[in-house]
Amino acid sequence: MLDFLRKFLPKTDRPAPSAAGARGGFNYSGGPLFGPWDPSVHAAPGQYARFGRAAARPLSVFSKGGERTKVLDCDAKAGAVKVQGRLDRVYTVSLDRCTCPDFQERGLPCKHIYALAAFLGYTPADYWASWLDVACADGVIPRPASGYSNGVFRYDVRGVNPETGRKNKRTVSACGEEDAVAAAREIGLADPVEVLPLDMAAQNMHPVSERQKAFAAEYQVTFAPDFDEKDAGAVLSRYDREDATGIPVGLLQFVTGKRLRVSLLSSAWDLSFLLFEKLSPRDVLALYAASVRLFDAGSSLVDAPTDPVDAVCYAFSDASAGAEWASELSPRELLQPVKGSPAYRAARSFLRSHAG
């Protein structure tokens, strides 16, 4: 059991599930709870990767050609199944324990437990609901008003145009009404600034498309009722690539700080492309500096628990404006700096000479 994982252990005295349940002989609590765990367990470091693997390789009694983890035996009385995992190893799994090395080491839900839970009705929406509850409770990410967005919305604002003295109506992106007033002032509107009622139809949110629904059926994915096209796209692209990287919380914080609206389900990969397209070159370079600093410390942008970009990163960005190598950076390098490249060398030597 790794020490930093202890805080995710059960907080309640909820009884362990009994073996006498409705589906397949199991007692499945449904919704975000399963096994003896508090829902916060799903937000523990490394859990998303395990959930992602389980989602990409579901337990299936209909398994073909070793494509999916095979169910060998269902022992309803014991509330356990025997599954055949990688390299043909056989594990016994229930919602509160598993015989695989991962569970033995961590004592937290492994991919087999997630796969079993999913087999019994646990959905990606349940997982994300738990994840969001924890993330929002910690104040890391604002609770979205709708869908799994990072809480950035479009607001219509009205203020005085200082040049004409007339009232002007503009649209801004902001994290709440107070922020919308600030954003309005930033684009030159003078007081009194007024925020008009939020119109969801103006949020650029679109329903899940028929094409996405067809893919979802193929992947056996269930969407949350309030998913929009962007959320569905983010989830499907992860399934498509079997992308089970952790959710990039620090990166999301940075993005939110820039008032960019994304789906909370976006993978680091999707985010890196979006950032390249939407951020100013100055912001991209600052983020690159943060990435190099984390990389040198044996970590990465994806694993940063808080916004990793600070004043030193921007100092690097300002010092590098116009550098030839800057135009050759790619979204991939933003996440994974290429050791020895001109950009990497420039960032590294700058960070070294400006280390706290």
Closer CB to Zn ion, 102 or 228, in the complex: 102
CA dihedral 322, 280, 302, 3 (to 10 degrees): 100
**Which residue among 33, 80, 100, 347 contacts Zn ion (CB under 5 A)?**
100
Question: Strand 153-160's sheet: what is its strand order?
Answer: 167-174, 153-160, 190-195
Closer CB to Zn ion, 46 or 331, in the complex: 46
CB of 91 to Zn ion, least distance (A): 5
Please tell me whether residue 103 binds Zn ion under the rule CB under 5 A: yes
Count of residues of this chain found to bind Zn ion when the rule CB under 5 A is applied? 5
Interface pattern 169-208 for Zn ion (x via CB under 5 A)? ----------------------------------------
Stretch that binds Zn ion, among 36-44, 105-113, 188-196, 212-220 (CB under 5 A): 105-113
- What is the 3 state secondary structure string of the chain? CCHHHHHHCCCCCCCCCCCCCCECCECCCCCCCCCCCCHHHHHCCCHHHHHHHHHHCCCECCCCCCCCCEEEEEECCCCEEEEECHHHCEEEECCCCECCHHHHHHCCCCHHHHHHHHHCCCCHHHHHHHHHHHHHHCCCCCCCCCCCECCCEEEEEEEECCCCCCEEEEEEEECCHHHHHHHHHHCCCEEEEEECCCCHHHHCCCCCCHHHHHHHHHHCCCCCCCCCHHHHHHHHHHHHHCCCCCCCHHHHHHHHHCCCCCECCCCHHHHHHHHHHHCCHHHHHHHHHHHHHHHHCCCCHHHCCCCCCCHHHHHHHHHHCCCHHHHHCCHHHHHCCCCCCHHHHHHHHHHHHCCC
Closer CB to Zn ion, 84 or 171, in the complex: 84
Please tell me whether residue 55 binds Zn ion under the rule CB under 5 A: no
Please tell me whether residue 119 binds Zn ion under the rule CB under 5 A: no
Closer CB to Zn ion, 103 or 254, in the complex: 103
β-bridge partners, 23 = 26
Stretch that binds Zn ion, among 101-109, 116-124, 140-148, 214-222 (CB under 5 A): 101-109
**Which residue among 112, 154, 238, 259 contacts Zn ion (CB under 5 A)?**
112
CB of 24 to Zn ion, least distance (A): 18
CB of 106 to Zn ion, least distance (A): 10
Closer CB to Zn ion, 109 or 337, in the complex: 109
**Which residue among 43, 56, 80, 98 contacts Zn ion (CB under 5 A)?**
98
Closer CB to Zn ion, 111 or 259, in the complex: 111
Closer CB to Zn ion, 50 or 230, in the complex: 50
Stretch that binds Zn ion, among 112-120, 123-131, 197-205, 255-263 (CB under 5 A): 112-120
CB of 93 to Zn ion, least distance (A): 6
Helix axes 124-137, 47-56, angle to 10 degrees: 170
CB of 107 to Zn ion, least distance (A): 11
Please tell me whether residue 155 binds Zn ion under the rule CB under 5 A: no
Please tell me whether residue 110 binds Zn ion under the rule CB under 5 A: yes
Closer CB to Zn ion, 100 or 275, in the complex: 100
Closer CB to Zn ion, 110 or 275, in the complex: 110
CA pair distance 67, 59, nearest whole angstrom? 10
**List of residues contacting Zn ion (CB under 5 A):** 98, 100, 103, 110, 112
